[in-house]
């Protein structure tokens, strides 16, 4: 780093900026009651089941084990803050990676700050879920590969990289996308010695074995079990596979809102990290990983594309800060611009939020609205705390009498289940819309309630709906 940059970034300021970004995540956390998959992750961790029963693409054995242990030891409030807590080791591993790629101390701290404040990382950190936990192992593996002072030697590094890969793979199958460039490089450099990663991988994959053996005992072949793990395809539930959602470039324009959400994570130096191809061989390996992850995530036809891009965002932040440092003049102004680049994402998104709330710009919202949730607030500006799921749960705790039934689709069900785990909706029964058959006992007794009609068309056809302040009460026709 040149003299102008050194003068500006000397002292504790880069570290303080990183600490402030992490503290902001704690302050913006959505707490122990959350919508959809995030709420389900919290509720599942409170059941006390350490091992997954099946190894599908949506099962995350190591995360389930870890989150269950966190709940057992520290309770649901800490569980709700778990991803904010995990930002600390993730920032540390990102700093380690940047240092091993040649960044000086303060530039590496700036890269970690850009990473924390990027949309995808910050959003996921305020919710419950698997993605930060998974990304931690991926970044550690890459950082170790570039480390030249570890004292492990080539064999030791291969073993530890294999262990990190097994831990990542037992957390999420996205591992095989984001680790591919690293293993291609290792295969060229180490040749047959790359096989040393296999036994270490086997050890790292330990928490997934009970689920895998359950699948094999159920009648799946080894190939079917592998396919079930990678894509969710199962001979017992053929309609639940994600295979038809992968590499769907043909639907990207139709799903442009979801694609734009992913692109929010490229506001700031991250965009330079993606579009500028580095000349340095070390940096180019990280860039290829970033590109692989971007192509996979942007073409994966699910709404939460941005979460699947989280490892790539981390690499984009590190590369982007390095690229920006090279482009800016080595002056005091250049140093200020470099430091302020960390605030690009929150400044842009909070500015857009202010324009939206003032009515100056229209923004697209989800067609299926949720009670008490502002989609723009919830999705686009994670820097502002959203507790809409908790407000929703408290409403039903006050309005649905003890013994009542609440029938719901998947998204509100996450809030309802995590609320029960947090002790808010005790003594109420919960039921998915598709399972709601004979409700006569509830209709004649304490009542049955429906938060929204979306994805519950069968309920609308079978019952009379009496409108409430939030949702409906079900009545017999």
d(CA 5, CA 163): 38
- Residue 243: CA atoms inside 13 Å, Cβ hemisphere, count? 13
Report the first-to-last Cα separation within the chain, whole angstroms: 74
What local confidence, expressed as pLDDT, does residue 8 receive?
54
Q: Quote the distance between the C-alpha of residue 267 and its chain's center.
A: 18
- Angle among Cα 89, 131, 181 to the nearest 5 degrees reads 85
Judge whether 200 and 137 are in contact, CB under 8 Å: no
What local confidence, expressed as pLDDT, does residue 461 receive?
84
d(CA 424, CA 413): 14
Bridge partners (DSSP) listed for residue 431: 407
Write out the two tokens for 375. 């989609």
Positions in the chain short of pLDDT 70: 1-11
Contacts of 294 (CB under 8 A, 6+ apart): 274, 309, 312
What local confidence, expressed as pLDDT, does residue 418 receive?
97
Bridge partners (DSSP) listed for residue 208: none
What local confidence, expressed as pLDDT, does residue 5 receive?
54
Write the pLDDT tens digit of every residue in 30-45: 999 999 999 999 999 9
CA dihedral 267, 270, 274, 276 (to 10 degrees): 110
DSSP count for the chain of H helices, then E strands: 27, 5
DSSP for 462-473, please give it. Answer: HSEEEE-SSSEE
DSSP, collapsed to helix, strand or coil, labels residue 124 as helix
Bridge partners (DSSP) listed for residue 467: 472
Q: What is the pTM of this model?
A: 0.94
């Amino acid at each position: 780093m040149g003299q102008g940059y050194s003068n500006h970034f000397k002292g504790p300021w880069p570290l303080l900026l990183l600490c402030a970004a992490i503290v902001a995540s704690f302050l913006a956390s959505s707490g122990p009651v959350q919508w959809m998959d995030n709420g389900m992750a919290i509720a599942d961790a409170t059941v006390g089941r350490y091992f997954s029963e099946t190894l599908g693409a949506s099962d995350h054995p190591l995360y389930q084990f870890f989150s269950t242990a966190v709940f057992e030891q520290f309770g649901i409030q800490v569980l709700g803050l778990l991803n904010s807590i995990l930002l600390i080791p993730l920032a540390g591993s990102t700093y380690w990676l940047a240092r091993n790629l040649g960044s000086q101390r303060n530039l590496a701290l700036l890269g970690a700050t850009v990473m924390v404040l990027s949309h995808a990382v910050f959003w996921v950190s305020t919710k419950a879920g698997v993605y930060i936990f998974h990304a931690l192992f991926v970044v550690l593996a890459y950082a170790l590969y570039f480390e030249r002072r570890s004292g492990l030697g080539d064999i030791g590094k291969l073993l530890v990289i294999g262990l990190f890969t097994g831990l990542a793979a037992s957390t999420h199958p996205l591992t095989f996308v984001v680790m591919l460039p690293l293993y291609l490089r290792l295969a060229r450099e180490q040749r047959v010695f790359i096989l040393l990663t296999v036994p270490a991988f086997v050890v790292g994959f330990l928490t997934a074995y009970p689920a895998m053996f359950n699948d094999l005992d159920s009648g799946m072949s080894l190939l079917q079990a592998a396919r079930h793990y990678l894509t969710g395809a199962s001979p017992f539930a053929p309609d639940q596979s994600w295979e038809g959602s992968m590499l769907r470039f043909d639907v990207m324009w139709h799903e442009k809102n979801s694609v734009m959400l992913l692109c929010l994570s490229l506001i700031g130096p991250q965009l330079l990290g993606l579009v500028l191809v580095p000349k340095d061989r070390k940096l180019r390996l990280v860039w290829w990983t970033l590109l692989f992850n971007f192509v996979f995530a942007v073409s994966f036809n699910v709404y939460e594309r941005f979460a699947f891009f989280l490892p790539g965002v981390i690499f984009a932040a590190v590369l982007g800060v390095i690229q920006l440092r090279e482009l800016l003049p080595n002056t005091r102004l250049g140093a200020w611009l470099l430091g302020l680049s960390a605030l690009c994402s929150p400044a842009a998104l909070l500015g857009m939020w202010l324009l939206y709330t003032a009515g100056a710009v229209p923004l697209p919202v989800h067609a299926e609205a949720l009670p008490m949730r502002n989609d723009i607030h919830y999705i686009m500006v994670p820097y502002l705390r959203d507790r809409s799921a908790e407000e929703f749960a408290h409403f039903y705790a006050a309005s649905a009498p003890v013994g009542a039934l609440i029938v719901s689709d998947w998204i509100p069900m996450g809030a309802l289940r995590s609320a029960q785990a947090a002790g808010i909706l005790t003594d109420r029964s919960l039921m998915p819309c598709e399972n709601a058959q004979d409700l006569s006992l509830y209709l004649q007794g304490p009542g049955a309630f429906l938060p929204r009609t979306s994805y519950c068309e069968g309920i609308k056809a079978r019952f009379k709906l009496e409108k409430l302040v939030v949702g409906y009460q079900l009545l017999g026709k």
